[in-house]
Structure 1
């Protein structure tokens, strides 16, 4: 790949308008600094929750994933601030744009995991069926593939001036972004199947709080993710525009609203609703009945503890 890029020359600065445009030190740096502080706070909060739960043997990996997402966004904002101070650095622009598209993928995966738990609890015959389980795993594996496609196409695109190659790279990017948009809709399909299908007698409960609250949390988070992915896909599917003639969706306000502001709202929803308590399931849950395992065992232990101890019979 390196020899190929060297032969192609470059990197060449983009001639078309991109989301957010080229950052400026007077406008983008203060805005990025505010979001940077927010992501640092959420990173510290989620890591604290993760460590406290771990000490209590309360395993909830999704808190660690949210910490990883915050760290990815911190890197994104730092790169954008540095790019604002070195606007002619094309390699820096490539790295900043790649991180903008890559960070949110962890939240997409978290939504699918949460919605899958609702489906398995409400409709176990569907949620635990091998076909949906294997299908969801395949969709997970395609996420890194889509990310690799975007990164490769982005890098190759700025190292060539061949219009055919650039057009092919754009097609690859559109395919990857369209897949990510479809992936963000999967949690709503899970939730709809769990809620709309006839209620089953063998449905289970898990975690704290009502099932309706869990449904609302996942639905709101998924809708905001669809808005983020839909905005990116729609903007990229639109006809390319010259740098001197950007569209409204290329503006900095749209860039920060449809990326970082919506992501902060998602973090607020998932963190402050305490999904580590609401969506916690027993370790090693692999089949129907496992979600209620801890609950039933705890109930048995409670009953045993409150049972009156029989007094020993006196000897004759």
Structure 2
């Protein structure tokens, strides 16, 4: 144990290694955070308004709520950073702020995968609706939850322990979770590629408004931006640790705000302004091939109409006989 660690006060312990973004200060962190809070609030209000208007028209689109939740999570993240800037020695605030920085973007990762899955199901129904793929995607979602829990546990434990073995284990857990998240961000690329590179299916469907190629371009654009921010996080995490008084360029405030919040605002611009609520809408209860184009729903409606007509004729016959 180093001499610096021996003289540290009781837990939670202040970090001795440089981290991306460093310790926030009133200037410049508070005004920058305030600007981002305003932008996230605008997108939160926009997505919730879109959801409410669509919902009144029986056009339920849950991803709009997910984007609203993501924006509000980022408002909480930046609010915590402002509070931390005004109380720089408060380690608990630092822990909460760091956890929210890593957790919020996961919502967008999941939304991207859902959109890519819809494209695959429309272009390649036999593959997109296959039971094995469904199970695999569900396991990936479980993995996201596990990765988040592991990150939170490692972050909290690392500031409550001075044991070198524990700190190494926490770092290994964070690297493993970060690597998994980076891999997760790339999966929509493979699903979209499979949708277009495999032989064209005779049962191909369409859904929502606009061309399928435009939908694919939206997904790939947001995925690339997510890969950028996720790659920056894991790249800096794998870099050799630097002392608190000897940070690298990527530990600065500019990379922190650019590769996190600026990139996320760009993602929100793409998803919100392109009106994904119209482009990626599918009928409620879609659970098998034919539902996206509502062929199954139309068939079921026709069967119901035939049954109703038969019952009506049967009642007419009975009334006439009486």
- TM-score using structure 1 length: 0.90
Aligned to 1:116: 117
Aligned to 2:281: 280
Query: How many pairs were matched up?
Result: 293
| C-alpha deviation, 1:67, in angstroms | 0.2
- TM-score using structure 2 length: 0.89
Deviations 1:28-81 (A, max 9, x none): 001001001000000000000011111111010000000000000000000000
Matching of residue 204 in structure 1 with residue 205 in structure 2: yes
Aligned to 2:32: 31
Asked whether the 8 Å contact 2:290–2:296 carries over to 1, the reply is: no
Structure 2 distance, partners of 1:297, 1:126, is 23
Deviations 1:71-123 (A, max 9, x none): 00000000000100100100100000000000000000000000000000001
Aligned to 1:306: none
> What SS class does the counterpart of residue 143 from structure 1 fall into?
helix
Structure 2 distance, partners of 1:41, 1:125, is 40
Matching of residue 13 in structure 1 with residue 6 in structure 2: no
After TM superposition, list the pairs within 5 Å mapping 1:1-316 onto structure 2. Answer: 9-293=10-294, 297=298
Asked whether the 8 Å contact 1:9–1:160 carries over to 2, the reply is: no
Structure 1 distance, partners of 2:54, 2:295, is 16
> What SS class does the counterpart of residue 67 from structure 2 fall into?
helix
Structure 1: gaps spanning 5 or more residues: 1-7, 302-316
Deviations 1:164-195 (A, max 9, x none): 11010000011111100000001001011011
User: How well do the aligned residues superpose, as a CA RMSD in angstroms?
Assistant: 1.6
Structure 2 distance, partners of 1:198, 1:277, is 27
Structure 2 distance, partners of 1:198, 1:231, is 36
Deviations 1:110-154 (A, max 9, x none): 000000000000011110111111000000011111001000000
Structure 1 distance, partners of 2:202, 2:104, is 40
Aligned to 1:314: none
Structure 1 distance, partners of 2:124, 2:115, is 14
Asked whether the 8 Å contact 2:291–2:297 carries over to 1, the reply is: no
Structure 2 distance, partners of 1:9, 1:123, is 58
Deviations 1:206-261 (A, max 9, x none): 00000010000000000000111111001001111101111111111100010000
| C-alpha deviation, 1:19, in angstroms | 0.7
After the TM superposition, list the runs of 4 or more consecutive aligned residues in structure 1 that deviate by more than 3 angstroms. Answer: 294-298
Asked whether the 8 Å contact 1:282–1:294 carries over to 2, the reply is: no
| C-alpha deviation, 1:24, in angstroms | 0.8
